[in-house]
Amino acid sequence: MPAAGSGGAGSASPAPDPSLVKGTGASCSSYGTPMNGKCGGYYCGVDQATLAKAVDPSSKCGGDIDLLCRNKVVIAVGTCARQVKSAMPLATNDELRPMIQACVFEDAEIKMKTSPECLNCTIDAAACAGDNCLIQCLAGDSAQCDSCRKMNNCEMPVFTCGGLPAPF
């Protein structure tokens, strides 16, 4: 078998191109589901094939494009974070984190396809929302919650920590 390109990776895949998603998330919601052949969440402006070309599969959160495109982890973290925070409003983020992780990992698909390290990146974003946008986000996903999260840069941990291209 011939070697495929430089770097010795042995893969014929071209290098990821994060610019393919740049600017596509401006009109997306963090909680959006896939629609009309496009991904959900902040990647609503692209289809799964384009997202696959933009994401480095070796990044902390880049291993499963389908799961990323369906926005399943972000939605699960938000739901679990609200449930756990509502039950324990005085608990610290460090106390809440393992409970949120356990709640999210109750979903067998997420547990199988998402590393704890990747999940922690998404939980970091939820912790930021809890610290800065509790009133706007505790009742559920909404435009007001997203606006507050964007204003406080809460979604960026998912991208920077997870190694995902930011769609903003």
List the one residue out of 74, 153, 52, 78 whose CA is nearest residue 118. Answer: 74
Mean pLDDT within 21-34: 88
Whether 77 shows a pLDDT value over 70: the answer reads: yes
pLDDT at 2: 37
Give dist(CA 73, CA 12) in Å, integer.
29
pTM (predicted TM-score): 0.87
| Average pLDDT of the residues in 6-30 | 76
What's the pLDDT score for residue 11? 52
> Helix, strand, coil: what percent of the chain each, to 5?
55, 0, 45
Q: Residue range 94-121: average pLDDT?
A: 97
**Top-confidence range, 38-47, 102-111, 147-156:** 102-111
pLDDT at 82 over 80: yes
- Which pLDDT belongs to residue 6? 39
Reading the block at residue 28, the tokens are: 């997306």
- Better pLDDT: 130 or 100: 100
- Positive/negative CA dihedral, 49, 55, 109, 30: negative
Taking 60 as the threshold, does the pLDDT of residue 7 lie above it?
no
Average pLDDT over residues 24-41: 90
Find the mean pLDDT for residues 65-74: 95
Q: What is the pLDDT of residue 4?
A: 37
